[in-house]
Amino acid sequence: MFFSTLPFDLHLFLLINQQWRLEILDVLMPIFSSMAVLLILLGIAIVFALFKGGKKHGIYFIILFVAMGMADFSTKIIKADVSRVRPLNAIAGTNFVEDGAWQTRPANFIQTKERGTSYPSAHCANTMSLALLAMLLWPALKKWPLLLPLVVGYSRVYLGKHYPTDVMAGWLTGVVVAGLVWLVWESIHRRYFQSHIG
């Protein structure tokens, strides 16, 4: 791995994962972290948007899915180079969900894995790219979509899947991907619009 876990990174992880715990969060965080739930919600949103707004909104959702795919692919490239081991496989006392049930690494747990896929968080990259592009494509949403990557990011640490810096790196990846996709979309949109006007 390129870097060691910094003290603030470990301290914040321990606070979120091992100390700031509530029964209601134990129920909600796996749901917030589920990509299946996100895809179901996006499917409902697509049907609603197409019904209310027509084909234009269908194109917008294609843009969202392209961006999420690019963000996911980008994180895989970085993960392969960094190889950071997930906290649930590295830190004693880590709380995590496996097979639908909460478990805790014992106090004498010792890391055995040498390579992992913790950095950066693909969930955070995907949801950040989705949120930023949704704000740009549907300005009426204002800044509400940003709640999605924030909640998902917190859930990834709560679930023992990522360190806070994994989450931040995922958000940054999502910002970069959303910016690139938006620039390409704006360029295509301008050319298409101008060719139909002129």
For residues 53 and 58, give the distance between their C-alpha atoms in angstroms, rounded to a whole number. Answer: 9
Residue 70's pLDDT is: 98
Residue 126 in domain: yes
Residue 128's pLDDT is: 98
Residue 94 in domain: yes
Residue 103 in domain: no
Task: Name the residue with tokens 């990557």.
Answer: 149
Nearest to 152, CA basis, from 125, 177, 133 = 125
Q: What is the pLDDT of residues 157-167, one digit of tens each?
A: 999 999 999 99
List, in sequence order, every residue forming a beta bridge with 96; answer none if it has no partner: 103
Residue 1 in domain: no
**161 neighbors 46 (Cβ within 8 angstroms):** no
Across all residues in the chain, what is the average pLDDT?
A: 93
- Number of domains composing the chain: 1
**Structural domain harbouring 139:** 7-98+116-197
List, in sequence order, every residue forming a beta bridge with 98; answer none if it has no partner: 101
Residue 196's pLDDT is: 53
Residue 75 in domain: yes
Residue 111 in domain: no
Residue 163 in domain: yes
The structure's pTM equals: 0.93
pLDDT beneath 50, residues of the chain: 197-198
Residue 197's pLDDT is: 44
Query: Tokens standing for 172?
Result: 């940054």
Percent of the chain surpassing pLDDT 70 = 96
Residue 110 in domain: no
**128 neighbors 170 (Cβ within 8 angstroms):** yes
On the CB side of 41, CA atoms within 13 Å amount to: 10
